[in-house]
Amino acid sequence: MTQNFDIAVVGAGPAGMAAAVTASEAGKRVALLDDNPAPGGQIWRRGARLPEMAEQWQARLDRSAVVRLQGWRVFDCPGPTLIRAERNGAPGAAEAKRSPDRDSYAELRCEKLILATGARERFLPFPGWTLPNVMGAGGMDAMVRGGLAVAEKRVVVAGTGPLLFAVAAHLAEKGARIVAVCEQASLAQLARFGLRMATEPAKLWQGLHYRRTFRQARFLTDCWVVAAHGSDRLNAVTLRQGDKRWDVACDYLACGFHLVPNTELPERLGCRIADGFVATDETLQTSVFGVYCVGEPTGIGGVELSLVEGQIAALAAVGSAEAAQKLGRRRRGKLGFVRALYEACTLNPLLRALAVDNTIVCRCEDVRFGALREAGNWRQAKLHTRCGMGPCQGRICGAATEFIFGWQADSVRPPVFPALVSSLAASGEAGGKARSRAVVSAFPEP
């Protein structure tokens, strides 16, 4: 299956939705690829009450002629005009019976490419963090939106960032008993953030509303989880604030240390990265001609900025430079929030000492902290310990080792997600590339 489009958008969160809808409304033939079951990304994930804004964009997307490949994961972009994707959940026996000829591999060609690949949570390893029922903060929220029942469950929410408030409030709404919300940032750090937020009263108001929703819980600053306890699953955590340490019984820990951008695809395409984020011009075009990047990969700035960026990139890509420029002013007005958020979520250096020698850092390959201390850099760690060599390709441990050791991951290689051998073989045939090499690369190289 190969199809041609004027514009392809990767990622159907707010930025990608806005880009796809805007380009399509301008009369272009647009494809929108996303690996989740429904559009909306993480912030507008179904299973919770969505803001009016989300419903409006969803309605515009539904009315549009955008070709949606929902539940498709892009595993490679060998060049700015070629996308290779695989359907999530390869057809099982039941599904195959229902639709025996359905494709699991797709190849798209496009004139312009808009990458809206979003962000993931940063996880930091600490003793016990691999225990079942220890999840990300956003991760736990996603699980609950996905139907996990949490009524009467005791939950500790920890880590850093405004996401903690949103998650605690949502879980409380679903009947969870929030035991404590632990923010690693200091009160002074949060106060500075609050002051800078004076220009964004809506966001401040929302924060206060969240706090009211989980008002039974303690909110602690300068506080984090130093250990999770349990045998086959979590039953307690040890919290630390200053010199104080104490244990708290709980059923779940929702713990995430803000967000890191998903830059694998832009990196694969050779887009310039600056300070960990994808560098763009005012129209959100990357250093690669015809490739745009919007939303969190250009700087963690939230929904409103993502929506504006998606529209700007789409307008620029369809040639409406003036309209793009006009929106550019709105974007610049929101960039202050990116900086404020970055400072508010700056990690306390003490968090580097959370992991002890036998703490697993790489969850895919069960590589422990003690083994990593010997390695001098990311590449050595991969070669000698297999850290980052598992199916997540270092997406989890990479951000952790960057913070702990200051290691930088090296070049991204295809496929950027593990893919079926059949997909790689099909892409070899379609692209006329060396087939045997494609099959071998089913597993990440060092």
Q: Which residues bind another protein (CB under 8 A)?
A: 35-37, 42, 46-47, 71, 73, 88-90, 92-95, 120-121, 123, 130, 132-136, 138-144, 146-149, 232-233, 360, 363-366, 390-392, 395-396, 418, 443
337 or 417: CB nearest another protein: 417
Burial class (CB in 10 A: 0-12, 13-18, 19+), 382: buried
Contact 277, 298 (CB under 8 A): yes
- The distance of closest approach from Cβ of residue 418 to another protein in the complex, given in angstroms and rounded to an integer, is 8
- The distance of closest approach from Cβ of residue 142 to another protein in the complex, given in angstroms and rounded to an integer, is 3
Left (φ > 0), alpha (ψ -120 to 50) or beta: where does 391 sit?
alpha
217 or 396: CB nearest another protein: 396
Contact 384, 373 (CB under 8 A): no
Can you say how many angstroms the Cα of residue 345 is from the centroid of all Cα atoms in its chain?
A: 16
- The distance of closest approach from Cβ of residue 262 to another protein in the complex, given in angstroms and rounded to an integer, is 8
DSSP three-state, residue 233: coil
27 or 146: CB nearest another protein: 146
- The distance of closest approach from Cβ of residue 139 to another protein in the complex, given in angstroms and rounded to an integer, is 4
118 or 328: CB nearest another protein: 118
DSSP three-state, residue 118: coil
Other Cβ atoms within 10 Å of 149 Cβ, number: 10
| Torsion angles phi and psi, residue 312, rounded to 5 | -60, -50
43 or 83: CB nearest another protein: 43
Q: Say whether the peptide bond before residue 78 is cis (omega within 30 degrees of 0).
A: no
112 or 170: CB nearest another protein: 170
- The distance of closest approach from Cβ of residue 208 to another protein in the complex, given in angstroms and rounded to an integer, is 26
- The distance of closest approach from Cβ of residue 297 to another protein in the complex, given in angstroms and rounded to an integer, is 14
| Torsion angles phi and psi, residue 333, rounded to 5 | -65, -20
308 or 371: CB nearest another protein: 371
Helix axes 163-173, 137-145, angle to 10 degrees: 30
Left (φ > 0), alpha (ψ -120 to 50) or beta: where does 77 sit?
beta
- The distance of closest approach from Cβ of residue 412 to another protein in the complex, given in angstroms and rounded to an integer, is 15
